[in-house]
Structure 1
């Protein structure tokens, strides 16, 4: 699997998404420092919210294959400026979290991530599991076998399908 670093504001769902990607039980845990897991780097939201700490995020991207910018569907604004992904030397994907929140607006968050330059953009709910397999499929490398398939299925050629957002 490709290694992904998750970045975003405090409480946008980075740690919860990390737990969902690992198949763990979802529980609240405040991230206080950079956490390295097998294929996920979880970062504190304060690093994205504070210019003095943001430099650390730039350094940690060198340890990842993919950068994931998270934006909650409940956010009233976006931290990310237009075309910010152009200054990254890794593929940058967008992840709209909390899509099942009753006060959320996933389309607005999707548009902000598209404006920032993220491609593709995934819509996820860590609690229902919606969108999680699409991220895992994106991070998959040849020969990786995901938990829901057998080794024979992993070796078959794949047909790429897209949903209305252009992501699997």
Structure 2
């Protein structure tokens, strides 16, 4: 699997998506520091929300194969400036989260991610699992055998 770093403001769903990608039970957990898992790097929202910590995020992108910019579909504005994705030399994908929440506007969030420079965009609801498999499929590399593949091969 390609390693992905998840970047976005506080409460946009980075940790919840991390739990969904790992197949864990969803529960609230405030990320206080950068968490490195096998193929996921989960970052605190404060890193992207604070100018001085934003530089640290740029450094962490070098540890990943893919950068995931997250935006909740409930966001009233975008933290990402236009055409920001060329700043890192990794593929950058957009991930619209909380697509089934009250007040959600996934089209608006997707348009802001496209303006930031994301060409590939996924819409997910981590609590229901909707769209999560598409991200897993995107991160999958040749030769990767996932748990559901093992079940199918054993039949």
Match of 2:116 in 1: 116
Q: 2:13 & 2:128 partners in 1: Cα distance?
A: 13
1:52-103 deviation digits (Å, cap 9, x = unpaired)? 0111101101100000000000000000011000111000000000001021
Q: Which runs of 5+ in 1 are unaligned?
A: 154-168
1:101 aligns with 2:95: no
Q: 1:48 & 1:98 partners in 2: Cα distance?
A: 19
Q: 2:84 & 2:110 partners in 1: Cα distance?
A: 15
Match of 1:72 in 2: 72
1:108-162 deviation digits (Å, cap 9, x = unpaired)? 0000001101120000000110010000000000001222224887xxxxxxxxx
Match of 1:47 in 2: 47
Q: Is the 8 A contact 1:145 1:151 kept in 2?
A: no
Q: Secondary structure at the match of 2:148?
A: coil
Q: 1:89 & 1:6 partners in 2: Cα distance?
A: 15
**Which is bigger in relative contact order (C-alpha 8 A, separation at least 6)?**
2
Q: Is the 8 A contact 1:15 1:31 kept in 2?
A: yes
Match of 2:56 in 1: 56
Q: 1:93 & 1:21 partners in 2: Cα distance?
A: 15
- Please report the TM-score for the alignment, with normalisation by the length of structure 1: 0.88
1:18-41 deviation digits (Å, cap 9, x = unpaired)? 000000000000000000000000
Give the RMSD, CA atoms, in angstroms.
1.2
Q: 2:152 & 2:100 partners in 1: Cα distance?
A: 34
Q: Which runs of 5+ in 2 are unaligned?
A: none
1:145 aligns with 2:145: yes
**Would you identify which runs of 4 or more consecutive aligned residues in structure 1 move more than 2 Å?**
146-153
Q: 2:33 & 2:89 partners in 1: Cα distance?
A: 23
